[in-house]
Structure 1
Amino acid sequence: MKTIKSFLFVAGLAVSASSNLFAQEVSQNKVVITGVRFAYPLVDKWIKEYTAENPKAQITIDARTITDPEKYDLLIEAYDQDKAVKETREYISIGRYALLPVANSTSAFAKEYGDKGLIEKTYKQIFFHDIYAEKDNSITVPFTVYTRLQKAGAPLTFAKYFGYEQQQIKGKSIAGADEHLIKALLKDDTGITYTVPGLAYDLTTRKPAEGLTIIPVDLDGNGRVSKEEKQTDNLDQVLEKLETEKVKNVPVEYVHFSIAKNNSNQEAKKFLLWVASHADADLHRYGYLKPEPKRLQVEKEKLERFSAVK
């Protein structure tokens, strides 16, 4: 009887040890990502490709709400962080996003400015109600600006480009993510907003998303919108112009992936390096501009050194 009990005890210890080792392995391979929501479709594609090559990896996106989740490994951000924050994290600039003005296609604003386009002074009057900007008395159609309520990459980048703060964007402030601005705009036949190409366009057809009109802007800053500048019907052509020419009136900013310098999660580090090497192939497909090569190379080298630390 004692022999049987001893055998069962040893077997139990073996099972327990095996379970602990399995749990430890799962923990080591688990990576939690959070951050700017408009990047999730692209990041989700990378997760699927990476885990196909690394089946033990368990990478999930924990969607950001008003705040970030309590625990995460990798953070996606769409604006430049403060110096103090940068000192505590390692960054990789995976791509750039542009911000384009869009309107409800049924609106009088879309009908007029979808053809006329926006020059800088009109842009500022519409989105910031700038009383010091040179007046454009031709604005006679009704419009309702929709903007983000919480601090976020798109509104920060949009306002900063034109010399303002996020809170100076005028209009209806919407809680939630960038896609919620689009949903609100589509319900309002006077609605206008700013958004990323990945939301402004149908990524399959490469045409403007249903119900949206892309408002052309004065890209060369000469005070008028030319016939060529009004060509906004094809996403790939828009991306090519933004990437190869020096344009005005289109805010552009980086999307960053970052990891805390005290994070020892090797799977998270491996995934970041994988993204740095593979991101280029998917950026245009999802409406992003490619990063500046020298910047990406410098950050990749820093990340490789960081990843070597266990």
Structure 2
Amino acid sequence: MKKLNSLLFTAGLALLSGPFLYAQELSQNKVVITGVRFAYPLLEKWIKAYSSENPQAQLIIETRTITDPEKYDVLIEAYDQERIIKEEREVISIGRYALLPVANSKSEFAKEYAEKGLNEKTYKQLFFHDIYAEKDKSITTPFTVYTRLQKAGAPVTFAKYFGYEQQQIKGKTIAGADEHLIKALLKDETGITYTVPGLAYDLNTRKPVDGITVIPVDQDNNGRITKEEKQVDNLDQIIDKLETDKVRNVPVEYIHLSIAKNNSNPEAKKFLLWVASHGEQDLRQFGYLKPEPKRLQNEKEKLERFSAVK
């Protein structure tokens, strides 16, 4: 009788612990990703490809709002992180994004500057509060600048490139994500802003999004806009130019993915290692530039060393 009771007790424990162990396994395989929202389409492509090879994995994106979710594994940022963040998180930089000036296609500004383009002096006068900046007296066309309200990767990168801080960008500040700038722009026939190629262009047709005019810039900084520099109607041509030439007046920055150095999720480590090895092939499709080859190799080696630590 005692033996039978013992067997029943053991069987009961197995039945009770089964769901717990299964839930624990699911928890270990779950990876929560959050961060800059314009990168989500690219991350979704990576998640789908990784999950097809690793069906046990549960990778989800929790949308960033004003703040990040309380708990997450992988953080996506669009500007270089502060030293204290790098001390706590392992950061890898897979691809690069550019920032392009855009205008509402119905605006007089779009019609005029699609032909004239922007040089550095004009850029600064249009977008920044700077009483010392050299003025371009030829700017007489009405325009309304739209920019981000909260600190974010795109405005930080945009301002830093021209020697300013985000708070020095002038114009109407919009709460929310980068796509909200585009929505505001499309509602205002005087609107101009800066944005990533993935929001300025239709990723299927590779042409500018309906209602948006991409404004050409003085790419060699010689003070004039050439016929070649006006060729901004094809996303792949833009990427080719940015990847092969040292283009001026186009801010470019890396997309940074990070994971906690201590007690990090093993599945998240595997995912980032997979991204480092496979992710580059998807960058162009979503409007990103390839990373510099030497930097990518260093990133892979750094991640491999980190992933080997239990």
Q: TM-score, normalised on structure 1?
A: 0.97
Is the 8 Å Cα contact of residues 157 and 251 (structure 1) preserved in structure 2? yes
Q: Which residue of 2 aligns with 1:299?
A: 299
Give the Cα–Cα distance (whole angstroms) in 1 for the partners of residues 2 and 89 of structure 2: 57
- The one-letter code of the counterpart of 1:302 is K
CA-CA distance at 1:309 after TM superposition:
1.4
Between 195-204 and 260-269, report the one with greater CA deviation.
Answer: 260-269
The amino acid that maps onto 2:124 is: K
Looking at structure 1, the residues matched to 32 and 263 of structure 2 have their Cα atoms a distance apart, in angstroms, of: 12
CA distance in 2 between partners of 1:225 and 1:13 (Å): 76
2:224 maps to 224
1:188 pairs with 2:188:
yes
The Cα of 1:149 is off from its aligned counterpart by: 0.4
Distance in structure 2 (CA, Å) of the matches to 1:125 and 1:117? 14
DSSP-derived class of the 1:256 partner: strand
Counterpart residue number, 2:90: 90
1:55 aligned partner: 55
SS in 2 for 1:229: coil
Q: Which region of structure 1 is more displaced relative to structure 2, 20-29 or 196-205?
A: 20-29
Larger CA deviation: 229-238 vs 255-264: 255-264
Question: What is the one-letter code of the residue matched to 2:98?
Answer: A
Per-residue deviation at 1:7? 6.2
2:29 is aligned to: 29
Q: 1:19 to 1:232 in 2, by over 3 A?
A: same
Q: Is contact 1:208–1:214 with CA below 8 Å preserved after alignment?
A: yes
- Provide the aligned C-alpha RMSD in A: 1.4
Instruction: Give me the identity figure in percent.
Output: 79
3-state SS of paired residue (1:23): helix
Pairing 1:236-247 to 2, within 5 Å after superposition: 236-247=236-247
The Cα shift of 1:279 comes to 1.2
Residue 235 of structure 1: how far off its partner (Å):
0.3
Residues 105-154 of structure 1, C-alpha deviations (whole Å, 9 max, x = no match): 00111011111100110110000143322221111111000000000000
CA distance in structure 1 between the aligned counterparts of 2:186 and 2:50, rounded to whole angstroms? 36
* Residues 129/113 of structure 1: CA separation in 2 closer, same or farther (3 Å cut): farther
**Offset of 1:295 from its aligned partner?**
1.1
Name the residue aligned to 1:45.
45
Amino acid of the residue matched to residue 220 of structure 2? D
Displacement, 1:3?
8.9
Structure 2 gap segments, 5+ residues each: none
Aligned to 1:116: 116
Q: Distance in 1 between matches of 2:6 and 2:129?
A: 82
Q: Distance in 2 between matches of 1:190 and 1:95?
A: 33
Measured after TM superposition, the shift of residue 92 of structure 1 is: 1.3
Cα distance in 1 for partners of 2:3, 2:269 equals: 48
**1:176 CA displacement:** 0.3
Letter paired with 1:70 = E
- Structure 1 residue runs of 5 or longer lacking an equivalent are none
